[in-house]
Amino acid sequence: MKNLKKFLKKIPLLLTLVLTSLLLSLVAYAGRARGYRDYELDPASEPILSLVLTGIHDHVYPWTDPDRENAEKEEPQVAQAPAESQEAETPQAEGQEESQQETTEGGNEETENSEEAGSEEESPAEETSEEGESSEEGEEEETAEEGGEEEAPQEEPEEEAPEEEPAWEPTIGEHAIVTNTVLTALPEGVCSPVVEAKDYGVASSRYRSPSDTVYNTDTEGLFAYRNFYYRLSSVDSDYFSNALFIGDSRTGGFSIYGNMNESCSFIYKESLSVYTVFSEMLTYRKSNGTSYSNTLEEILSTNTFDKIYISLGVNELGIPDTERYYDKYRDVITRIHEMQPDALIFIQGVMHVSEKKSSSDEIYNNTIIVERNRAVSTLANGWNIFYIDMNSEVCDENGNLLPDLSSDGVHLYGSQYGRWKDFLMENAIVR
């Protein structure tokens, strides 16, 4: 006995659970005849105490009387019956009401007749006054309409400002295409065409969007087409003197081996993406050769650039999906434009990977790259945002990165970054 007491003292929690279970089982058993009468229970799979827990959830207790509750629920319907019978048993009241209605209708008819007679005998002076009132109301309506027409021109300059804005009018004849209407597609020569690539059937559908997905459809605002466009043209290296290149490790290699660091600035980081470009500390390499860590937000806030080149996208291939990538890319461009409203923005198509990688990797392949390049290319408006695709300079006839240009199938050899520079010099915008 003493040993049993010691054992019970050592396991108070277990003892409590056992006693609680027994108590709930007794309560459930007692409630089977009343509150839990309508509950179904499978003794083979459910303990009887589950009735108590289910009842607590349903606000039903062992002492609850189901018959009384059902009767209370039906009381509102029974209570309506006497009212109907009372109405049926008071024909005298209904007759009084009908007589009152007839009297009222008769009075109304007499009143109407008298009003008609009175209206026929109205003097010409009263008719003249009515005509005067109606004419005054008409004049007030016309005045209100004229006032609304006078207010409309105040909004027109704001709407037409983007179309009449170009401060580069003197150069339009040489480098721009002017139309009388807004086109539904950019004219040839305004942007680079998206370079296609062979599909080896290995791309995971998880990282793609449906083939019928429609991207930019703006008719107003930053990404909408206008009625004039600037053509791509050739420039010399001085063109990049106040340009900023934003990108990942590929842009970092370009800043070192592209022979452009003396004329422009770079801000980059390995594995950078459109999702992190504004949130991470990046390497900022200035045109004078100095470099330090800073954020893109700070650089755009404290400097003014004429051109901004964006090269992002390879590190996002493993993030579903193309539509999400497009939306984020759009946000990045919008934010850059807000901070640098006078800068030309160049969307650089993601450089393709080699055939070896594209034909074997379900994520890092040219099928997904081309799909995403097509999506972001629709953000170009031909006025201050342009899409350029340098894959035409580094890929074979199947759209694969030439094997002689890369060791890993993703990054160019240092000696090959000159191809990137040559392409940019042949595809620039002069306004």
Q: Is 381 helix (H, G, I), strand (E, B) or coil?
A: coil
Q: Using CA atoms in the order 394, 395, 396, 400, what is the torsion angle rounded to 10 degrees?
A: 150
Residue 155 placed within a domain: no
Q: Is the pLDDT confidence value at 35 over 50?
A: yes
Let me know whether 58 and 191 are in one domain.
no
Residue 192 lies in a domain: yes
Residue 72 lies in a domain: no
Cβ pair 260, 420 in contact under 8 A: no
**Phi, psi at 340, each rounded to 5°:** -135, 70
Give the range of the structural domain holding residue 270, as residue numbers without chain letter. 169-429
Residues 178 and 63 in one domain: no
Mean pLDDT, to the nearest integer, of 84-91? 42
**Cis bond before residue 321 (omega within 30° of 0):** yes
Q: Note the pLDDT of residue 102.
A: 47
Does some domain include residue 84? no
Is 184 in the same domain as 50? no
How many domains in the chain?
Answer: 2
Q: Are residues 43 and 173 in the same domain?
A: no
Residues 59 and 179 in one domain: no
Copy the structure tokens of residue 167.
Answer: 């401060």
CATH number at residue 419: 3.40.50.1110
The reply to whether 149 falls in a domain is no
Q: How many CB atoms lie within 10 A of CB 278?
A: 15
Does any domain span residue 57?
yes
- Asked if residue 250 and residue 362 are part of one domain, the reply reads yes
Write down the mean pLDDT value for the chain.
79
Q: Is residue 90 part of a domain?
A: no
Which of residues 67, 98, 116 is at a domain's end?
67
Report yes or no on 97 lying in a domain: no
pLDDT of residue 62: 73
pLDDT digits (tens, 9 = 90+) for 336-390: 999 999 999 999 999 999 999 999 999 999 999 999 999 999 999 999 999 999 9
Q: Is residue 348 located within the same domain as residue 220?
A: yes
Q: Which residues of 29-42 are buried (b: 16+ CB within 10 A; e: fewer)?
A: eebeeebbeeeeee
251 versus 45: the higher-pLDDT residue is 251
- The pLDDT score that the predictor gives to residue 50 is 72
CB 332 within 8 Å of CB 273? no
- Tell whether 224 and 357 lie within a shared domain: yes
pTM above threshold 0.75: no
pLDDT per position as a tens digit, 263-314: 799 999 999 999 999 999 999 999 888 999 999 999 999 999 999 999 999 9
pLDDT at 322 over 80: yes
Q: Give the CB-side neighbour count of residue 268, counting CA atoms within 13 A.
A: 25
